[in-house]
Amino acid sequence: MPLTSNNAKLWSIFLIGIGSFVVGIVPACFIKKRHGVQKKLLLSALLCFGGGVLLATSLLHMLPETRESLPHYAELILSCGFFILYFVDEIAHYYWIKNGSSNRHEFDNHSQSNLVRQSRHSVYDSPRNSDVDTNILSATDTNFFGRKKSVYRYGSVIPTAPPPPPPTLFNENENIFSCHGTHNEPCAESNAGHIGLAIALTIHSVLEGLAVGLQRKSDEVLLLVGAVISHKFVVAFCLGLELAESSGSLCSYICAMILFCGGSSVGIAIGMMTFEINPFWENNIMPTMQGLAAGTLLYVTVSEVLPRERAKWHNSPKRSAGIVQFLSVISGFTIMYFINEYIEHNHH
């Protein structure tokens, strides 16, 4: 019995939906077993690999599809998607600060430097024979400059000599000139990045499924299903890895994966029911949505995923960590490039 186009579409609904969901759930099986797993370089390399996949998906897959229908506005639409999520992220951060939830975060970032600054001024500004509170310097600790404390006298400490200048000042200035940024992790309190990532990939999935559902021949359906699966499973794994690494709950993780994995199935079902789309929708609205989603992926990749992973290992004793991360990004980008080339070759 020959395979009809409708039967191929029905099989593709279950194959794409269930298959991508299973692949997307796999990262949660080993990331939820934490106990130091997140600090391993292998996990960071996988997340950087996912960043390369998302970057290639945005620039090599979604942007060209927008340019086919809107050649003069594709880059502008992508930029609008980038700035829209940028604006949403800042608005979410503004209201989070307004509610007073960032006081603890701000204190955690600056409390250590403030205490160091206060202790430094107190040591230099005090007379040579002045007493120093033993609550600050204990009998077994060393001071800020690494010098052992001297004798006790009635619960106080008398320094035997003025401390030398802090040896780290020159190195700090040198690091400022040798590095192009502070290498601090992006703020993790706002979930705008993960929400935007899930929404952008879901929109892309719906549009891909819609293209499959509009085909009239079974061989064309199978060709597009193979093209969708070839990169959707990779993206599903990278999305699952990114969501599992974040501090979100298991329920939100499952909901996000269902939303993403069901997007293609919903698009295929819509295409089967309509069989044709209004030309204005096909030539303008769909490419615009694709371009906005591409800009959203670009923002999440270059503003959150890659900066976060680089910051985690910037001061690590493993000096090769940055090279490993770079090669992981290049690997993800290259794999998606060849997948897209394969899709384009078979499509034409």
* Residue pLDDT, tens place only, 201-228: 889 889 888 888 888 888 888 888 888 8
Instruction: Give 331's contacts (C-beta < 8 A, 6+ positions apart).
Output: 49, 52
In 10 A of CB 155, how many CB atoms? 9
- pTM score over 0.75: no
Lookup: tokens for 141: 């600790």
Summarised one tens digit per residue, pLDDT across range 155-211 is 444 455 555 555 444 444 444 444 555 556 555 555 666 778 888 888 988 988 888
137 to each of 83, 125, 144, 160, 323, how far by Cα in Å? 50, 17, 9, 14, 41
pLDDT tens readout for residues 239-293: 888 888 765 678 888 888 999 999 989 999 888 887 677 788 888 999 999 999 9
Q: Report the distance separating Cα 238 and Cα 327, nearest Å.
A: 16
Mean pLDDT for the stretch of residues 294-317 = 87
For residues 102-112, give the mean pLDDT: 46
Q: At which residue do the structure tokens 């997140």 appear? A: 38
Residue 12 is which amino acid?
S
DSSP annotation string for 151-169: -EETTEE--SSPPPPPTTH
CA–CA gap between residue 205 and residue 235 (Å, rounded)? 11
Helix axes 218-245, 321-347, angle to 10 degrees: 160
29-71 residue pLDDT tens: 776 554 444 457 888 898 899 999 999 999 998 999 899 999 9
pLDDT, tens digit (0-9, with 9 covering 90-100), for 68-84:
999 999 999 999 999 99
